[in-house]
Structure 1
Amino acid sequence: MNKKKRLKIGIVMDPIQFVKIEKDSSFAILLEVQKRNHQIYYMEMNDLYLKRGRAYAKTRLLKIRREIHNHFNFIQEQNILLNELDVILMRKDPPFNMEFIYATYILESAEKEGVLIINKPKSLRDCNEKIFASLFNHFIPDTLVTRNISQIYNFWKKNKDIIIKPLDNMGGSSIFRIKNNDLNFLVIAETMTNYEKKYCMVQTYLPSVKYGDKRILIVNGTAIPWCVARIPKKGETRANIAAGGIAKIKKLNKKDWEIANYLSPILKEKGLILVGLDVIGNKLTEINITSPTCLCEIESNKNISISSILIDYIENQRY
């Protein structure tokens, strides 16, 4: 058997010195990359640039290890054309703002020169994590995307108990629950819409969140059979782990499989290779495509390596 070539795998991510290595999904993926003896080219957003219409970056060769506070070191720094890389993992966390979009244009330039970008830059732009889910109306709760306070008010009066959240954040940041007769309605609506200058998403509150906001992972159009149910801590509306939610590993149920199997071919066609679906009860609430998390929680509890499945896909595409 011929020896497989050593791939050059780039990653665009938030500063690695601040990651929590025991639960960071990007770090778990990089451990698998390194285990297979591929080279890791580390980049942050500031490192990407276009010059004479071609995509470049300042890169650092990266070595990592499972040692808290001593988990990485850089070997070599160099500016390169991005087409020198085989693959680039775009793992920059939200906010999904114009700077993020500009970065996808640079990555798309590299993609046109033959680099595999995960996830596909065009789809990162087109498929906002909140709005994209709203296209699948038969799976989602009653949902409104608006910046009009009167529309939010009418939605609230109709549904009595609602969730309002921004379109561009993550980890449960700036998510509010507004119950029936809440005296804070107006100030919350004004803040979330920036006085009707900013769109937000409004959804009916789903009481089944007390059983967990499930994160279902899909790799190259195939759902992982285990999900992470993030259960809110007492007195908290948000179930996100970043907001203090407790993670429990559960098997996908019949409805989870129905949602995942329906979406999987659509995601694959769009070049969305690593995706996290958020499901509360039997309702789809978000489709996470920028930097899906919860790999570590599943890998540490079940005999499955999602990171390995992803790198298998990459190797099959590049060999």
Structure 2
Amino acid sequence: MRAGQRLLTTMKLLFVADPLEQFNIAKDSTYAMMRAAATRGHALWACEPADLSWQRGGCVSAVATAVHLTGSGQPWYRCDAPRSVVLADFDAVLMRKDPPFDAEYFYATHLLQQAEREGARVFNRPAALRDHPEKLALMEFAEWAPPTLVTRSTQAIRAFHAEHRDIILKPLDGMGGRGIFRVGPDGLNLGAIVELLTQHGRTTVMAQRFVPAIAQGDKRVLVIGGEPVPFCLARIPQGGEVRGNLAAGGRGVAQPLSEADWAIARALGPRLAARGLLLVGLDIIGEYLTEVNVTSPTCFQEIAQQTGYDVATRFIEALEAVVAAKGAQAEV
């Protein structure tokens, strides 16, 4: 399907997400997806992971509600009465639950994978969500990464610091910049930080050499259907912070992709798309890939507001194309 081309039929979409009343519609990318889908005539439904269930002899279902956008601020939606629906009856199911990737998220991916066996089309694919933990997925693409260590060993972290002198330490299940520490050449508080993050050697963490280019921003590069969005959001640390995450007070500045951004995104995009990852958010600092985000990548609205590039509509177009292609395959 050509960019901008509209499918003749409408889709029935189920968003598995956080509670709608918690959305910040000025920034939320899932809301942007919903708005773009509604504009193109698609029907919106929503539920939370806790609403999913399966019983022997039946199909994966959810207690879900039809969502109607009001287009008038608050309240930004109205819902029909909740009712039980079968996931395979939707044209597409979009898993948009925010991290952390905890045990309940893990269980939800298995329910969604069972729904796939029953004919549901789930994006991103549940197995791919499990296979690409957002920090550890970096290991597969090590040629693009800064010097990185994954361990629970205090001794290994101390040796890594001794070699690189200025490092970042972060938990593997963190989001929004939570739990990220920088330890400089003086090694101040390294022992205490390692004890805290590893829980005295019981929890695995990631260490990376500090990349000074963070001063120009931690760039979120979006890849849709294997193709990079031409603009990224550079999340620039503020007030002496080392974290650029918007949730940690970073300032978001949209900008065209650099040559390094294009190279990384083009190298990873087709490989990830082939695994059922329709939407990926790559985190790039300078010329280094630092994370591969697949659960609920964001920054749609910030990029659109600053550049005019409609990321959400591009995503819905890509979703339409994939669903149409899968439907055509099923008819053969």
Shared fold (TM-score, shorter chain, > 0.5): yes
For residue 153 of structure 2, the aligned residue among 148, 155, 179 is 148
Distance in 2, Cα, partners of 1:67 & 1:189 = 48
For residue 245 of structure 2, the aligned residue among 240, 245, 263 is 240
Local SS of the residue matching 1:32: helix
The question of 1:19 aligning with 2:23 is answered yes
**1:114 shift after superposition:** 2.0
Paired residues of 1:57 and 1:81 also in contact (CA < 8 A): yes
Q: Kindly provide the amino acid, as one letter, of the partner of residue 38 in structure 2.
A: Q
Runs of 4+ in 1 over 4 A off after TM superposition: none
- Written as runs of structure 1 = structure 2, the 5 A alignment for 1:1-319 is 4-52=8-56, 54-319=59-324
Name structure 1 gaps, 5 residues minimum: none
**1:265 shift after superposition:** 1.1
TM superposition score normalised by structure 1:
0.96
**1:69 shift after superposition:** 3.6
**1:157 shift after superposition:** 1.4
Distance in 2, Cα, partners of 1:110 & 1:23 = 30
Percent of aligned positions that are identical = 39
Local SS of the residue matching 1:135: helix
Q: Could you say if the C-alpha distance between residues 225 and 58 of structure 1 is closer, same or farther in structure 2, counting changes exceeding 3 Å?
A: same
**1:175 shift after superposition:** 0.8
Distance in 1, Cα, partners of 2:14 & 2:157 = 42
Paired residues of 2:244 and 2:251 also in contact (CA < 8 A): yes
**1:305 shift after superposition:** 1.4
**1:242 shift after superposition:** 0.8
Q: Kindly provide the amino acid, as one letter, of the partner of residue 290 in structure 1.
A: T
Residues 281-311 of structure 1: per-residue CA shift (max 9 Å, x gap) = 0000001100000010111122321111111
Q: Say how many residue pairs are matched.
A: 318
Paired residues of 2:70 and 2:78 also in contact (CA < 8 A): no
Name structure 2 gaps, 5 residues minimum: 1-5, 325-332
Distance in 2, Cα, partners of 1:134 & 1:234 = 32
Q: Kindly provide the amino acid, as one letter, of the partner of residue 40 in structure 2.
A: R
Distance in 1, Cα, partners of 2:111 & 2:71 = 32
TM superposition score normalised by structure 2:
0.92
Q: Which moved more, 1:297-306 or 1:170-179?
A: 297-306
Paired residues of 1:216 and 1:224 also in contact (CA < 8 A): yes
Q: Could you say if the C-alpha distance between residues 3 and 235 of structure 1 is closer, same or farther in structure 2, counting changes exceeding 3 Å?
A: closer
Distance in 2, Cα, partners of 1:122 & 1:282 = 29
Local SS of the residue matching 1:136: helix
Distance in 1, Cα, partners of 2:182 & 2:59 = 46
Paired residues of 1:31 and 1:65 also in contact (CA < 8 A): no
Paired residues of 1:226 and 1:250 also in contact (CA < 8 A): yes
**1:66 shift after superposition:** 4.5
Distance in 1, Cα, partners of 2:29 & 2:124 = 15
Paired residues of 2:34 and 2:44 also in contact (CA < 8 A): yes
Local SS of the residue matching 1:128: coil
Q: Could you say if the C-alpha distance between residues 141 and 66 of structure 1 is closer, same or farther in structure 2, counting changes exceeding 3 Å?
A: farther
